[in-house]
Each structure stands twice: as C-alpha cells, then as structure tokens.
Amino acid sequence: MGPQVMAPINDKVTVSSSLPTINIETRDAKSSRRAIKLCHKQQQLFFDFMGNAHNITLMILSRLSDALSLEGSAPFETVHRHDRPSLSTLALFHYLKPDNGQVPGFGHGKHTDIGTLTFLLCEQWGLQVLSPDTESWAFVEPRPNHAVINVGDSPRFISCCKLSSAVHRVIPVQEKQMEDRYSIAYFLRMENDIRYRDSANKTWRNGTTQSSTFSEIE
C-alpha cells in the first residue's frame, strides 16, 4: 500500500509510509488544508528528500564512528540499520508572524532534539545555540547551500557521553518577528526498542513513540 494522507490534528498533517513519518506543522486551518493538498501532490518529492537526508545523516554518523574509533558492535550505524523500523521524521515548520496587537512570536524555546542527528534547512535568522563553555547564546548564521546538523540526545547515551546534545532555540531576530519563518528538519532516530548498557553499567531502552526518549530498565 502506498503513502496515506491522514486528517490533520492540531494543524499537523502526517504522511505514513515504510519510510519515516512526515509532519507539516502549521498554526491555522487554512494552512493545514493547503498542506494536505500539497502532500497529495508532492508525495514523491518529500520521500526523495527524506531518502537523501537519511543517507547524509548516516554518512555523518559513519564519520563520527571513525573519529571516535568505534569498532565491532559499537559504531553508531549498528543501531540505525535500513531494514529496522524507527521513528525518524521529516518536519516542515511555519512560524507565523504575529498580527498587530498580538504578543510577539517567540519561535521555539530552549530544547534538545529527541533522536540522533537533525538535518536542518532554513534561509532565515532565528536559530541560536547555547555554548557549553560560555553558557551564552549565539546565532547560527544561515548560509546558502548549507545545512545545520544538530546532535540529538541519542549519541550522548550510545557514545558513553563522548558526544553531547546541542541545546538550541528559535527566537525573533528583532524585538518583534517581522515575517513568517520557515524551516525543514529531518530527525534521524535510532531503531525502535534498542537496548544497551552505558559506562555506569545501567541498561537503557530507546523509546518507541514520537515524544519518548530513553528509559532505564535495569
């Protein structure tokens, strides 16, 4: 059976397939209706992009494994196999500018990404990263023909804390957001239900829902 477009819930459109889930986030019903039509019309474009982003993030994982000298069953690729189900996701975000008299838009508050790596495309300013050294925020410059790669929560566990999650946020560049902001993000996640033991000899399990992360099981 081919991809199926499902009705939006809270202005979210989901296209399900054998590959990861596509989410299109909107803030109003009119945009949701347009998104549903777009999904029906451009399904193959979305899946082609997902496949390319998936291959790029796996290539980066392979290079990280080499740099950290991970061998045997330790390389990151061993928990991101093509033939195993995962909750990897492609999301298209639309941050509306506020109308006159409304509270200014604040984008997305401080957070880390649930997952392994995030492949992010955005042509507008607004993304900030928190420096672990200075504990201060700095803007990430949007560059033409470049993607931003964020390290998510998973590598901290599976690398025995050699890698850390990137703490980031999205804020208006000026006092008030003056234009709509758009971004596209592919979230690479580990295979569902992965179990492993960390450096403190604790066993953890990877979550199997979109909002879950790691839970200790021993």
- Reported as type and span, the H/E element at residue 36 is helix 29-41
pLDDT digits (tens, 9 = 90+) for 157-178: 778 778 889 999 988 776 656 7
Extents of the domains making up the chain:
4-216
CA 47/CA 17 separation, integer angstroms: 9
- Spatial neighbors of 9 by CB under 8 A, at least 6 apart, are none
CA 47/CA 92 separation, integer angstroms: 13
Q: Are 118 and 167 in contact (CB under 8 A)?
A: no
Sequence length of the chain is 218
**Neighbouring-strand partners of residue 24:** 13, 92
Q: What is the pTM of this model?
A: 0.79
pLDDT digits (tens, 9 = 90+) for 17-47: 344 455 665 656 676 677 777 777 887 888 8
> Which amino acid belongs to residue 108?
H
Q: How far is CA 101 from CA 26, 32, 105, 121, 207, in A?
A: 21, 24, 12, 30, 41
CA 173/CA 169 separation, integer angstroms: 12
Average pLDDT taken over every residue of the chain: 75
pLDDT at 117: 95
CATH number of 4-216: 2.60.120.330
* Radius of gyration for the chain, computed over Cα atoms and rounded to the nearest angstrom: 18
pLDDT at 52: 92
